[in-house]
Structure 1
Amino acid sequence: MRMRITNFALLLLMSSLSGPLLAQTTAEQIRQATLAFLDNFANEQTGAGYTVSFEPGSIDSRLALAECKQPLSVEFSGDPWKSTSPSLLVACEGHRPWRMFVTASVSIHGPALVATRPLTRGERITSDLVTHQSVEINASRRGVITESRQAVGMEVRRSINAGSLITPDMLSAPDAIERGDHVIITAKTGGFSVRSRGKALANAGVGEQVLVENLSSSRTVKANVVAAGHVEIQM
């Protein structure tokens, strides 16, 4: 009986000693994996004309996870283009899988549109009203506009100061149809379509519905705006 107790105690002692000796994934390995991922992201954006600076968040040096037999997987779990502190998902997909999140500080600088002069509500954007300026793009949670063609022709929704960054929510597409406009009504059914002339009874943009009067039948119908002066009805 004494021999059994001694052997059991010996097994417990060996188990406690072998635990710390098991292979582990250390905090430094996780940090190096995140650094490599962020460095690759920065290089990709450099080719597209953006400058990226970054720094992984602190990781507890005492952290020790199961050994990963393959390279650690790292990806953004938050959008780095809309936050300067996106989180990263670090994962091991091996025999003993695990996942953890690491914060990072990321700054993306690049060209975005700003107003060349004060813009008033309802004003239509033309190419001379905007210019490119280097800004910290991901500091704006509302996004940015990087191409002039994305803004030209749009209407200002609220006043914009000269030199201010122009964000998508500041602009709206102008109405493609205004009340009283004569429009082409296309009625579709299966592979056939019939056209007629009508008159819009309200303002509407592309993708919106509008009431139109069929000038031939004098009937009022609800149609979808597909382009300036064109609406469609699905029969």
Structure 2
Amino acid sequence: MRTTLLVSLLIMSALTNSALAQTTAKEIRLAATSFLEAFARTQATEGYQITFETGNIDSRINLAPCTAPLAVEFTGDPWRSEHPSVEVACSGERPWRMFVTTTVSINGPALVAARPFGRGERITQDMIKTRSVVVNASRRGIITDAGLIEGMVVRRPVNSDSVLTPDLLEAPDAVARGDHVIITARSGSFSVRSRGKALANASVGEQVLVENLTSSRTVRANVTAPGHVEVPM
């Protein structure tokens, strides 16, 4: 009888310790929430307001105990999605990981159109303004520095108050078809200059066909600055 009772107590103790040792859904939610709170505090110092919610975690979850602090990180870019998942992971003796769905809203300043834009217009300061938007609602990104886009060209029509995204703008042509340009033929520190005529439009960094006005040869050159192209010698 005493032996039976002792065995029963050992079994009950083992079951109890096993249950207590499990990593619970509550612990996982706490780790994910603490991570998102830290993210919100960090971004608040940069002028962004973060609100968030964590998704449901099955209360019946049964994960091994973790002998190390739980590690949490985003699995996607929270600046490009309002629903980034976070990974909660254990790197202890019995490692595991699981994913928790979240809803994250990042509110902050962004540049928007002060009036409608037409295709081909060049951006000036009076064409843009700043207002608060849900930054991560746009997967195409936002623009916050007006100095970076002044002088750029609108690629397609934009409605008034629309959030400006990088894909809406492009660098202006540095050379246009028919323009006279300076051709620099370069080899190391040695270079020779000649005059040429651009046979197409191109921006800085792009290649363009150029007619050398001295030799009448057509060469493919890299646009280095407005009115200037370069070819290897």
TM-score by length of 1: 0.89
- 1:193: Cα distance to partner? 2.9
1:21 and 2:55 matched: no
1:179 matched residue in structure 2: 177
Query: Structure 1's 99 and 193: CA in aligned 2 closer, same or farther, altered over 3 A?
Result: farther
1:31 matched residue in structure 2: 29
- 1:16: Cα distance to partner? 9.4
Distance 1:89 1:64 in 2: 17
- 1:112: Cα distance to partner? 0.5
1:231 corresponds to which of 226, 229, 232 = 229
1:121 matched residue in structure 2: 119
Distance 2:185 2:209 in 1: 14
Distance 2:169 2:153 in 1: 5
2:128 corresponds to which of 127, 130, 150 = 130
- More deviation, 142-151/105-114: 142-151
1:158 corresponds to which of 156, 162, 170 = 156
Identity of aligned residues (%): 62
- 1:234: Cα distance to partner? 2.6
Distance 1:131 1:96 in 2: 53
Distance 2:79 2:228 in 1: 37
1:5 matched residue in structure 2: none
Distance 1:207 1:103 in 2: 42
Q: How does 1:32-51 map to 2 (within 5 A)?
A: 32-51=30-49
Unaligned runs of 5+ in 2: 1-6
- More deviation, 14-23/38-47: 14-23
1:195 matched residue in structure 2: 193
For residues 58-85 of structure 1, what are the alpha-carbon distances to aligned partners after superposition, in whole Å with 9 as ceiling and x for unaligned?
1111112111111111111111111111
SS at match of 1:101: strand
SS at match of 1:21: helix
Distance 1:157 1:76 in 2: 33
- 1:184: Cα distance to partner? 2.0
Query: Structure 1's 20 and 205: CA in aligned 2 closer, same or farther, altered over 3 A?
Result: farther
Q: How does 1:85-100 map to 2 (within 5 A)?
A: 85-100=83-98
Distance 1:210 1:66 in 2: 62
Distance 2:178 2:36 in 1: 55
Distance 2:182 2:88 in 1: 56
Aligned length: 227
Letter matched to residue 21 of structure 1 = N
Distance 2:134 2:25 in 1: 30
SS at match of 2:72: strand
- 1:17: Cα distance to partner? 7.3
Letter matched to residue 105 of structure 1 = T
Query: Structure 1's 209 and 14: CA in aligned 2 closer, same or farther, altered over 3 A?
Result: farther
Letter matched to residue 120 of structure 1 = G
Q: How does 1:52-91 map to 2 (within 5 A)?
A: 52-91=50-89
SS at match of 1:194: strand
- 1:197: Cα distance to partner? 2.2
TM-score by length of 2: 0.89
Letter matched to residue 39 of structure 1 = E
Query: Structure 1's 15 and 225: CA in aligned 2 closer, same or farther, altered over 3 A?
Result: farther
Query: Structure 1's 227 and 16: CA in aligned 2 closer, same or farther, altered over 3 A?
Result: farther
